[in-house]
Amino acid sequence: MDESVLFQTLYNSFVSYVPNLIGFFILLFLGWGIGKIFGRIAEEIIKRSKIESVLFEKKPVISLSSLASIIVSWSIYLLFMKAGVDVLGIKAISDILASLLSFIPRFVAFLVVFFAGYFISEYLRVSIEKSEIEYRRLIAKIVFWLGIYVSAIIALPLVGIDVFILQLLLIIVIIFMLLPISIGFSLAIKDELKKDVKKWLKKLSKI
């Protein structure tokens, strides 16, 4: 093939691809701008609702407002990025971005379930510590961490993580917790059972 013809073919291909490239960068810029705006709106809504001060006694490592801002802004970034990649016609990258977008709702569901479990566990911990029961601090800690553990078991499948081993460990822990209680209860009522058995045997012997 003549070099001039080859050069002309490459040039024509590049020129025909330029509108797609421009469209990609426009969508990328729009996604960045819109994501930034909506992320800021989500952050301000949570800050003004003062929900963090209600839920947390101390300032958390990652605030809910910052987390909401990141999730909202990146969801919009990825949405526009996928649209831009579709314009370029790069299917492999488009499929990856589609997978990421489909993961975001599941990740949000995971956070909602896990944090709900955390708040319930924290409420139970505080309630037990305020009570008058013996060993309340120890019981409060056990209840709190058990609640966190159960919350993780419920939440992790929402993001596609198998929790069979965690479930098995929970069953083992419950068995080891119940075993001493059941043994202690059996020993406590042993004498009473002996008396009852003797009474029943005497009644049977009189029949």
pLDDT in tens, 161-202: 888 888 888 888 777 777 666 665 555 555 555 666 566 666
Over residues 133-162, the mean pLDDT reads: 87
- Domain residue spans in the chain? 1-89, 166-207
Strand ranges, E, within the chain? none
Residue percentage of the chain with pLDDT more than 90: 17
pLDDT of amino acid 26: 92
Lowest mean pLDDT among 18-27, 137-146, 198-207: 198-207
pLDDT of amino acid 58: 62
pLDDT of amino acid 165: 87
Torsion sign over Cα 84, 86, 92, 98 = positive
Long-range contacts formed by 109-113: CB under 8 A, 24+ apart: 109/158, 110/155, 110/156, 110/158, 110/159, 111/67, 111/155, 113/151, 113/154, 113/155, 113/158
DSSP class of residue 207 equals -
Maximum average pLDDT range among 4-13, 32-41, 115-124, 185-194: 32-41
The answer, yes or no, to whether residue 204 has pLDDT greater than 60, is no
Residue 29: pLDDT band with limits 50, 70, 90: very high
pLDDT of amino acid 37: 94
Residue 23: pLDDT band with limits 50, 70, 90: confident
Over residues 113-134, the mean pLDDT reads: 83
The answer, yes or no, to whether residue 38 has pLDDT greater than 90, is yes
SS3 for 62? coil
Q: What is the pLDDT of residues 58-76, one digit of tens each?
A: 666 567 788 888 889 999 9
Over residues 113-136, the mean pLDDT reads: 83
